[in-house]
Amino acid sequence: MAHRTDNKAKAPIGDIRDPNSLYHYLRHFMQWRLERRFSQQTVTRDEECLRYFITWCDERGLQRPHDITKPILERYQRHLFLYRKSDGQPLSPGTQYNRLTPIRAYFKWLTKQNHILYNPASDLDMPRLDQRLPKHILSVTEVETILALPDVGTSLGIRDRAMMETLYSTGMRRLELIQLGVFNIDHERGTVMIRGGKGGKDRLIPIGERALQWIAKYRDDVRPDMVSGANDDTLFLTHSGEIFTAGRLSSLVRDYIDQSKIGKRGSCHLFRHSMATMMLENGADIRFIQAMLGHSSLTTTQIYTHVSIKKLKDIHSATHPARVIEDKAEQSVPTAEQAGVALLDLLAQEAQSDIDDD
């Protein structure tokens, strides 16, 4: 089955007159999720995955939820395993996992809403994800090489340097950088308030002095010429005063990484993953890294506890590789190896999600 383009994917699937069809219930499921404040990005991504599944079902004469059994879902799982992209490559285990996860949520909802009597996806075995470090983690030297690439004699170069410094210093997600507001950064306290992160949660995290200096230079010298009357307080803008799209930001950062000729591929998430790995190697407690990244918990470790911004800033200053002031902290909490592996594995899954979104 060839994957459809975005325009075709938005078309109805199957008999739209059937009020009990998989497609009909899909529309209700998406609306239900929006009403419960799932992010638009999550709803859009999950809808796309469910459209692939429902199209596959429709091609086999499976049009209603009660037509779907566990063996049917296992057939679809084998289809994903055997599927080959246009370049001849298979779907990665992470992509297969991400395609199946919304299906499990969909049938769980159908069961809870009493549209079906039992959940055929409840015991579906998910693809096993590799628990290993990804190939592309940046070293300190490689990060500095990339950060030095923007031509800071130009307005766009200053903006690009400020954006990448922010990604590297804070480890924030791509969409969190896009949505960052001018007034979300407290230059005096050295903190960033991330509003409406993943799961709709706010968090206050530290940001390094070097990143703050580049942000201030961009804010004062560059942004006033970019901002348009229709713009709100969004910090980082395109040359035409627009808000970045996820794909456009990824492409911009990826181009710099390619230009560096360090032999590694990646985009925004590469800074996030590299920062977390470096802080972990430098002795940061897993709990503080979790707080920085916005992971409320790691189910495999269940060790998350609330930490104060002051302590988090101390840990950030002591372990972040771009720290300005060397601070040999006397306090060092040993990091559990299992917790570190789980954290890095979760970051690898996030990276795969970013690739799928692009």
Residue 146 and residue 103 in one domain: no
Containing 172, the helix (H) or strand (E) segment is: none
Residue 85 and residue 162 in one domain: no
Which tops the pLDDT comparison, 306 or 14?
Answer: 14
Instruction: Tell me which residue of 313, 289, 314 sits closest to 303, measured CA to CA.
Output: 289
Q: Kindly state the tokens that stand for 29.
A: 């499921």
**Which residue, of 92, 112, 132, is where some domain finishes?**
112
209 domain residue, yes or no: yes
135 domain residue, yes or no: no
Residue 105 and residue 144 in one domain: no
Question: What is the rounded average pLDDT of the residues 95-105?
Answer: 94
- What is the DSSP code (8-state) at residue 232? -
**Which residue, of 70, 94, 112, is where some domain finishes?**
112
Instruction: Tell me which residue of 150, 159, 106, 103 sits closest to 126, measured CA to CA.
Output: 103
- Catalytic-labelled residue, pool 99, 173, 203, 223: 173
Which tops the pLDDT comparison, 217 or 42?
Answer: 217
Alpha helices by DSSP H, listed for 20-122, are 22-35, 40-58, 70-82, 93-112
CATH code of the domain containing 296 = 1.10.443.10
126 domain residue, yes or no: no
Instruction: Sort strands 185-186 and 191-194 into parallel, antiparallel or unpaired.
Output: antiparallel
In which band, very low, low, confident or very high, does the pLDDT at 310 lie, cut at 50, 70 and 90? Answer: low
Spatial separation of the C-alpha atoms in residues 263 and 40, rounded to whole Å: 35
- Catalytic-labelled residue, pool 295, 313, 316, 320: 295
Instruction: Tell me which residue of 116, 82, 81, 85 sits closest to 100, measured CA to CA.
Output: 81
Task: Decide if 269 is catalytic.
Answer: yes
Task: Decide if 295 is catalytic.
Answer: yes
Whether pLDDT at 26 is above 70: yes
Residue 63 and residue 170 in one domain: no
3-state helix/strand/coil string of 305-344: CCCCHHHHHHHHHHHCCCCCCCCCCCCCCCCCHHHHHHHH
- Catalytic-labelled residue, pool 159, 219, 272, 287: 272
Whether pLDDT at 267 is above 80: yes
Residue 247 and residue 322 in one domain: yes
Residue 58 and residue 167 in one domain: no
Containing 205, the helix (H) or strand (E) segment is: strand 203-206
Task: Decide if 304 is catalytic.
Answer: yes
Residue 338 and residue 191 in one domain: yes
Give the structural domain span for 162. Answer: 140-357
Residue 105 and residue 149 in one domain: no
- Catalytic-labelled residue, pool 45, 115, 304, 311: 304
Residue 79 and residue 205 in one domain: no
Which residues, 6+ apart, have CB-to-CB distance to 294 below 8 Å?
A: 172, 173, 176, 194, 197, 198, 201, 203
pLDDT score, position 89: 93
pLDDT score, position 7: 39
Q: What percent of the chain has pLDDT over 70?
A: 78
Question: What is the rounded average pLDDT of the residues 6-10?
Answer: 48
93 domain residue, yes or no: yes
Instruction: Tell me which residue of 202, 200, 217, 201 sits closest to 166, measured CA to CA.
Output: 217
- Catalytic-labelled residue, pool 269, 287, 313, 320: 269
Task: Decide if 320 is catalytic.
Answer: no
- What is the DSSP code (8-state) at residue 125? P
CATH code of the domain containing 23 = 1.10.150.130
122 domain residue, yes or no: no
Task: State if pTM tops 0.75.
Answer: no
pLDDT score, position 306: 38
Which residues, 6+ apart, have CB-to-CB distance to 280 below 8 Å?
A: 286, 289, 335, 340, 343, 344
Whether pLDDT at 3 is above 50: no
Task: Decide if 104 is catalytic.
Answer: no
33 domain residue, yes or no: yes
Residue 75 and residue 146 in one domain: no
- Catalytic-labelled residue, pool 174, 198, 223, 320: 198
**Which residue, of 112, 128, 155, is where some domain finishes?**
112
Question: What is the rounded average pLDDT of the residues 347-355?
Answer: 62
Task: Decide if 60 is catalytic.
Answer: no
SS3 192: strand
Q: How many domains does the chain have?
A: 2
